[in-house]
Chains A and B, each alone.
Chain A
């Protein structure tokens, strides 16, 4: 089995090689948007891990939060709506020496991109997925999202949402994610720890972030979460127990857990894909020269 982490230059650094920083593009988010904290947390995590910015690829779909790659000095791919994960997987498989981070919103990841969300997790692809979950469609000016709560009135649901919300944490656990965490934009330091550990995790890491929309969601506000969130780390939760993780994931009401729900050490897709044991695909030899014997089956 290949050890993909061996070829990942995650701890290498030198004076000439800049670690991540902000790009010269200023975020376009509304003042007070939760996504600023997520950007700060991702930047803090990458700085802490001293990963050279040219070895990072940040991938997103479409939505307010999906503009995030433009605000960092790394490589980035700002893809179409819902497709951040398959693009990120492709990048990761082309060069598993890279640190690949996918970012996006709840509509992008759990609505139009829900199929990819489930399948990327079952593959345990070694990338980090950070969702800025504000339970609303912001960029399209305030429609219900897959995580909007029952009864919430939005432009598309003037009499209230009549579908039950997706539970991203429970879905991630059921789909085989090996690092499942939830953060809150109101606690950047805690969030940065979750992202740092997620990037370091060998396998698919998922960090769902309560990242309130200050413009279109008047229900799930910073105050809403400040009054309710508690940290699993302080509650004595055992993140190696998937049954307990499921139980915690179902908690929603006066008390809502944040922190690490579950972590498991399992082979990644890249470990199990034999072709990648010869090193990053982008550095391997290509073509049929030397492989002329493949023609024999046609003779």
Chain B
């Protein structure tokens, strides 16, 4: 395996994210698989931000452990990240900005002082251009050919042209050349592997999948880390014919989406936990009126405003329980952009087929970080069946909420003659007429209410069968079984081969659909598992609680993290060794 981890850090406003994205894009164009981590804070300037691009010929599912190249835009970056440097690592910095004494660097690493500011001054008085020369030096060390870097860099400026682009290309070439003359390539430098890959964030994958599934309407209120979905959709609104509405609040956003869906288009909204809390009542309305809607809930660390730019998986119980009363729903939880694309398509398929809300659970770690996919992993040719399924009855009334074995009734949309109905948030009969006010409590309507509940809830069993199935990754008889959901799965997938090399065979119970829980499969896997390890980014082990509630099976070993940071493979490895009795060896 050939792998390199490059990291850069500085203050918010230093342009770290675009530096990191340019590196990640370069690796992807070399045909390597990439994971890009963008760590930032809820400030526009100041604070410490950093980006890590991990490139490998084997797909990395997480940011990985350590760094081989570290470009420090300030001293703080060096102080914070020095402990992560791997043997052979190169530290890039500009001594004109701050000094690093040769004795301060970890054993086995080396310093490459690059005159980034002096290079920048050749072109402009704008100090931000220093990044470009630092970027050039990093690219050389990492093994990125200069033309590849220049292509990615030029593209990062989009259609902008002129001096700024030329200065950046010039300064990056100077930095590249400086590194070539003053350093050998890094021990871990990579080389091109053939056809380029696509690099996209979880949010971009969700938006793209939704577009492929036929979404025509998105209403959203800005909230980190879900805003990227609205940004991508808005940028492509005209081209793809998708109405994108920034609503006045999340209440409006989901109600607009439900209205649009009732009106005859595939519709969605996206938010984080705070906004989702506001959407809860309308989610139940979608369930009650049997109006399909897709809601993306990209979690961040809570409670309340919490840590707005940090990740967590603390909203599983919220998503399962959102809304008064009971109604069918599904919760899909992809772990990687490649899965997020499929999950968005599945979410629309399920919402339409089962006429009920479907939640797509993401989190900051998935939504905002980048990973590569191959083109054939995100096929755009997705079936988009017609929305209206009803035909006007020859005699009698149209029964929008007709009792059926599956619970799914024929659906009409406004504009269709002879199929008018009223979608009611109150309990109603097969026609849609209310049984909530004058009829409630009258014996025949008491029975009707129970029948209508049964009809709706039958769809939950249908969803359980139709939703993306669970699977076991790794050998079935392995001594250790990981249980996890969402983006946390990434670090586990990266830890499994490391454990394997240490003689600890493991497998992973992966649940692309966390609700309704695939009880039979989960039970069969866990009943035969020797040792289990539940890994979740929350305080309570919410998936573990759900599994115990539904299967009765406890998961005594837990690795829970709620500090806002994503899991790293080494944390998984250490805990896995501990629970398998190999700790400290």
Contacts and interface: CB of A to CB of B under 8 A. Distances in A.
Interface of A: 17, 23, 25, 28, 52-57, 59, 62, 67, 69-70, 73-80, 82-83, 85-95, 97-98, 115-116, 118-119, 273-276, 278, 281-282, 284-289, 291-292, 294-295, 298-299
Given A78-B426, A87-B258, A274 B380 contact: no
A275 B237 contact: yes
B420 A275 contact: no
A92, A93, A273 — which one has the most chain B CB atoms within 10 A of its CB? A93
Given A115-B248, A295-B375, A287 B238 contact: no
B289 A77 contact: yes
B260 A93 contact: yes
Contact of B243 (A70, A119, A275): A275
The 3 residue pairs across chains A and B that have the minimum distance between CB atoms: A90-B259, A94-B263, A282-B264
Given A89-B256, A278-B241, A94 B217 contact: yes
B259 A86 contact: yes
B404 to A, nearest CB: 21
A98 B266 contact: no
B111 interface: no
Contact of B263 (A23, A92, A288, A292): A92
A74 B387 CA distance: 19
Contacts of B416: 54
A90 B258 contact: yes
Interface string B406-421: 0000000111111111
B247 interface: yes
Given A80-B282, A90-B260, A289-B380, A95 B216 contact: no
Contacts of B263: 57, 90-95, 98, 281-282
B414 A95 contact: yes
A116 B248 contact: yes
Given A70-B434, A86-B256, A288-B240, A78 B384 contact: no
Contacts of B213: 287
Given A78-B423, A94-B263, A94-B267, A86 B417 contact: no
Given A79-B285, A79-B425, A273-B243, A88 B259 contact: yes
B351 to A, nearest CB: 14
Interface stretch (B197-205, B310-318, B353-361, B480-488): B197-205
A286 B384 contact: yes
A78 B378 CA distance: 39
B296 interface: no
B380 A54 contact: no
Q: How large is the interface on B (under 10, 10 to 19, 20 to 34, 35 or more residues)?
A: 35 or more
A244 to B, nearest CB: 29
A78 B433 contact: no
B215 interface: yes
A299 B196 contact: yes
B252 A54 contact: no
Contact of A94 (B260, B417, B418): B260
Nearest to A61: B425
Given A54-B414, A94-B265, A286-B215, A298 B199 contact: yes
B294 interface: no
26 contacts: A53-B420, A57-B262, A69-B422, A70-B422, A75-B422, A77-B259, A78-B423, A79-B255, A86-B251, A87-B258, A89-B245, A89-B259, A90-B263, A92-B259, A94-B217, A94-B263, A95-B263, A95-B413, A95-B414, A115-B252, A281-B216, A281-B217, A282-B387, A286-B384, A294-B208, A299-B29
Contacts of A56: 414
Contacts of B289: 77
A166 B416 CA distance: 39
Nearest to A99: B414
B261 interface: yes
B242 interface: yes
B239 interface: yes
A76 B267 CA distance: 18
Interface in B7-35: 28-29
Q: Counting chain A CB atoms within 10 Å of each CB, which of B240, B255, B281 scores highest?
A: B255
B415 A93 contact: no
A118 to B, nearest CB: 8
Interface in B93-107: none
Given A83-B255, A286-B265, A299-B198, 10 more contacts: A28-B437, A76-B423, A78-B424, A80-B285, A86-B247, A90-B260, A98-B415, A115-B249, A281-B263, A294-B240
B442 to A, nearest CB: 14
Contacts of B236: 294
B420 A87 contact: no
B382 interface: yes
Contact of A275 (B241, B253, B378, B380): B241
B255 A87 contact: yes
Given A116-B248, A119-B252, A97 B420 contact: no
Contacts of B258: 79, 87, 90
Contacts of B217: 90, 93-94, 281
Nearest to A94: B263
A77 B423 contact: yes
A88 B199 CA distance: 38
B214 A286 contact: yes
B212 interface: yes
Interface string B434-466: 100110000000000000000000000000000
Contact of B212 (A83, A92, A288): A288
B257 interface: yes
Interface in B474-529: none
